[in-house]
């Protein structure tokens, strides 16, 4: 290895992600092995919740300091259209499966976008503190979250229309298959807000993924919407008495985008961090399903406790029975409008 390649290898990568248990799973599965292999330094930046706005601001200032960003697909579509991130040639850039299957055939449906490569399948769920309900009256459906009479207590919901609008319509009797068609109509939007009105006075609105498990643990709320991995982490690592309502889970993909001009810097890391073994390794630390088919049969037990990870995955068949796939194109098209209407509704 020449001096130039040694200097190139030992670089600092500024990688943006979500923080908490998720960033820890990336640290263990991707970052630490990469740093050991190359001598690179990886700096974790917890800014994914506002990654699109952050990339816009850095791009406008002409000073993009982020090298790789963990982002949701709907935001990635917008960033790609705005030229903030690099188009990706997946079969040229990513590792094939161990049997030689090209990445374009090994990643799950929807995992590879024009400027996006998914690493996980995760789920937006509602969880509850089981100690706050009688043993013979534990909630089990999304309708129960809207039932203040039989299931009293405060709720914690994310301060965004995403997921809340879908759940409101399902709790109001709309079939899962019809939710997004309904949300494209004024009648559907009004119906969702009307259903949310029924619990609005009992909701604490959260903005950071660390808040729901804390609110549940402190018994400030009985129910909280959350990322399933955060709740799993609290259940197994802190022994919290939480249960997940898998009914009407909204599952989606999450993964990487490369800021414009950064592809050469992160190419080797991205190839490594999205290979079959690395995605399987991540599932040892958090209950998110890997986005590659070839990783699935390598998912085994939780690294810390030894418990079987499969029953805790969103894609485990009993958990997946009433799942809804988040419609990324819908939210890419309508998020600005619905965010404005949601904020106006909150202010009423």
- Nearest residue to 273 via CA among 117, 123, 101: 117
16-41 per-position pLDDT tens digit: 999 988 999 999 999 999 999 999 99
- Nearest residue to 14 via CA among 60, 45, 56: 45
- Tell me which range, 49-53, 239-243, 317-321, 333-337, is most confidently predicted by mean pLDDT: 239-243
- Nearest residue to 290 via CA among 30, 19, 18: 30
For residue 312, give the DSSP letter.
Answer: G
Asked whether residue 3 carries a pLDDT value surpassing 80, the answer given is: no
126-167 per-position pLDDT tens digit: 999 999 999 999 999 999 999 999 999 999 999 999 999 999
**What pLDDT sits at residue 4?**
44
Q: At residue 315, what are phi and psi to the nearest 5 degrees? A: -85, 0
- Name the packing angle between helices 164-171 and 186-197 (round to 10°): 80
> Which residues on adjacent β-strands are paired with residue 158?
206
pTM of structure: 0.80
Q: At residue 45, what are phi and psi to the nearest 5 degrees? A: -125, 120
**What pLDDT sits at residue 300?**
85
For residue 97, give the DSSP letter.
Answer: P
185-195 per-position pLDDT tens digit: 999 999 999 99
**What pLDDT sits at residue 296?**
83
pLDDT bracket for residue 315 (50, 70, 90) = confident
Share of the chain above pLDDT 70, in %: 97
Share of the chain above pLDDT 90, in %: 87
pLDDT: which is higher, 114 or 304: 114
Q: DSSP string spanning 112-164?
A: EETTEEEEEEEEEEEEEEGGGS-TT----SHHHHT-TTTS-S-EEEESSSTTH
Q: DSSP string spanning 18-65?
A: --HHHHHHHIIIIIHHHHHHH--EEEEEE-GGGHHHHHHHHHHHT---
pLDDT bracket for residue 1 (50, 70, 90) = very low
Asked whether residue 7 carries a pLDDT value surpassing 90, the answer given is: no
pLDDT bracket for residue 277 (50, 70, 90) = very high
121, 296 contact by CB (below 8 A) = no
- What would the mean pLDDT of 292-310 be, rounded to a whole number? 89
pLDDT bracket for residue 6 (50, 70, 90) = very low
Q: Could you tell me which residues come within 8 angstroms of residue 160 by beta carbon, excluding any fewer than 6 positions away? A: 339, 342
Q: Which of 6-15, 253-262, 338-347 has the lowest mean pLDDT?
A: 6-15
Asked whether residue 209 carries a pLDDT value surpassing 60, the answer given is: yes
**What pLDDT sits at residue 260?**
98
**What pLDDT sits at residue 8?**
53
Structure tokens belonging to residue 1: 């290895």
Q: Mean pLDDT score of the chain, rounded to an integer?
A: 94
pLDDT bracket for residue 9 (50, 70, 90) = low
């Amino acid at each position: 290895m020449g001096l130039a390649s040694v200097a190139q290898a030992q670089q600092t990568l500024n990688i943006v992600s979500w923080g908490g248990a998720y960033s820890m799973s990336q640290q263990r599965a991707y970052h630490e092995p990469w740093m050991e292999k190359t001598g690179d330094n990886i700096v974790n930046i917890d800014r994914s919740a506002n990654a699109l706005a952050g990339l816009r601001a850095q791009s406008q200032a002409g000073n993009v300091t982020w090298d790789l960003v963990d982002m949701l697909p709907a935001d990635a579509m917008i960033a790609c259209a705005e030229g903030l991130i690099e188009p990706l040639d997946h079969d040229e850039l990513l590792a094939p499966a161990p049997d030689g299957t090209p990445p374009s055939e090994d990643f799950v449906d929807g995992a590879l976008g024009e400027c996006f490569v998914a690493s996980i399948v995760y789920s937006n769920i509602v969880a509850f503190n089981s100690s706050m309900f009688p043993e013979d009256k534990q909630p089990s459906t999304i309708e129960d979250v809207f039932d203040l009479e039989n299931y009293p207590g405060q709720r914690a919901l994310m301060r965004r229309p995403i997921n809340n609008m879908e759940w409101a319509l399902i709790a109001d009797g709309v079939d899962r298959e019809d939710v997004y068609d309904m949300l494209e109509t004024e009648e559907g939007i009004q119906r969702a807000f009307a259903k949310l009105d029924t619990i609005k006075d009992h909701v604490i609105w959260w903005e950071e993924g660390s808040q729901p498990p804390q609110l549940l643990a402190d018994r400030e709320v009985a129910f909280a919407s959350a990322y399933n991995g955060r709740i799993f982490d609290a259940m197994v690592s802190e022994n919290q008495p939480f249960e997940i309502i898998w009914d009407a889970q909204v599952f989606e993909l999450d993964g990487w985008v490369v800021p414009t001009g950064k592809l050469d810097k992160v190419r080797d890391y991205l190839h490594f961090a999205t290979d079959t073994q690395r995605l399987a390794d991540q599932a040892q630390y958090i209950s998110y399903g890997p986005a590659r088919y070839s990783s699935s049969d390598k998912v085994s037990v939780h690294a810390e406790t030894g418990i079987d990870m499969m029953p805790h995955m969103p894609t485990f068949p009993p958990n997946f029975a009433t799942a809804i796939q988040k419609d990324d194109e819908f939210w890419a098209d309508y998020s600005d409008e619905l965010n404005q209407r949601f904020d106006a509704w909150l202010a009423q």
